[in-house]
Structure 1
């Protein structure tokens, strides 16, 4: 249970032996720590020697309200609280990264642009990164990888718009033939491999 003000939020923490880095996951609207897609990516990161935290940034009651589900400021604030909690739990400090999906990607960028704790890298999967806002995008210091499905045309356009604002190290990766949820054969595997490579590149490897 992660403290978030007066609330307690649920999370699943995995820390492989000798982990070289740690990544916090911010899920998309209507998703949770049980997201099969994010669990798949987290498992790949774990195999690469990277610890992970899959968490719910909202309570079930909050998640039933659409306005709250799309409140990037609230989600970013919860992610910052989770980041502080993680740093207190780790016996040895590790480089930190964020993996955000959909609206969670916007929250990741907003949080990293504000965090007093250094966030070393960000990966977005099908993210609405445009909703992070120009201020967060232009001052984001963390190297950022935007992954979008090749058939997810509206999100590609929004990512290209946000990508142009980023002044940090950045890449935009298009997964051919993939839709928004990366349900096509091999699509999610591509996401996991790209994410692991990015985090190992900027957070270090075991």
Structure 2
């Protein structure tokens, strides 16, 4: 399934992204990568392909420019990353073929915090959020303003992150569900574990985006 390479204008520069729109797409999922990663993340790209096969459009993009990514602190600047995501959501909402589709966000690691913080500001623009091995605790106070349904997926061997997700779930204003994948570490690198993440995410997104279609 061919994707369209795009550039999102940003203060005299741009962010690179790839948009894939299957025939009769039922929703759009924007991926928000974690620190030190990019739109080329093999794990996010795998999940994106599964979602495309399930009839969802996907958009993977770089949160930072190449020069910004060289500054280590930028990778953990959640307010900056969430504002970048908000800029991208507004840009996508003006794009033919996806402007009217229900919108989900899929955040990994620190990207999950940015996705949740952005959702708190965007309100009903975002229909649902999925977090993979996320750090929702880093979203801070805005967690209490997230009303969209949230799926939190964590590896069963990632105990510290399980604890952080359990605490963050208590802060969320809307529906939330914590799914623990047995035998998986933080990156879900064990055999069959990333496939399980994709299955869980696909089921959740199809359900919650279809409800908004």
Tell me the equivalent position of 2:163. Answer: 157
Say whether the 8 Å CA contact 2:123–2:146 is kept in structure 1: no
1:116: how far off?
Answer: 5.7
- Alignment of 1:5 onto 2:35: no
Which residue of 63, 73, 76 maps to 2:69?
Answer: 63
Which residue of 165, 185, 188 maps to 1:182?
Answer: 188
Tell me the equivalent position of 2:140. Answer: 133
Task: Show CA shifts across 1:137-193 (max 9, x none).
Answer: 111011000000000111111111101111211100000000000000010001001
Which residue of 86, 103, 108 maps to 2:115?
Answer: 108
- Alignment of 1:23 onto 2:66: no
Tell me the equivalent position of 2:3. Answer: none
Q: Please identify runs of 4+ aligned residues in structure 1 that moved more than 6 A.
A: none
Distance in 2 of aligned mates of 1:120 and 1:102: 20
1:90: how far off?
Answer: 2.9
Q: 1:140 to 1:116 in 2, by over 3 A?
A: closer
Tell me the equivalent position of 1:85. Answer: 91
| Residues paired across the two proteins, number | 205
Structure 1 unpaired stretches of 5+? none
Point out the more displaced range, 86-95 or 117-126. Answer: 86-95
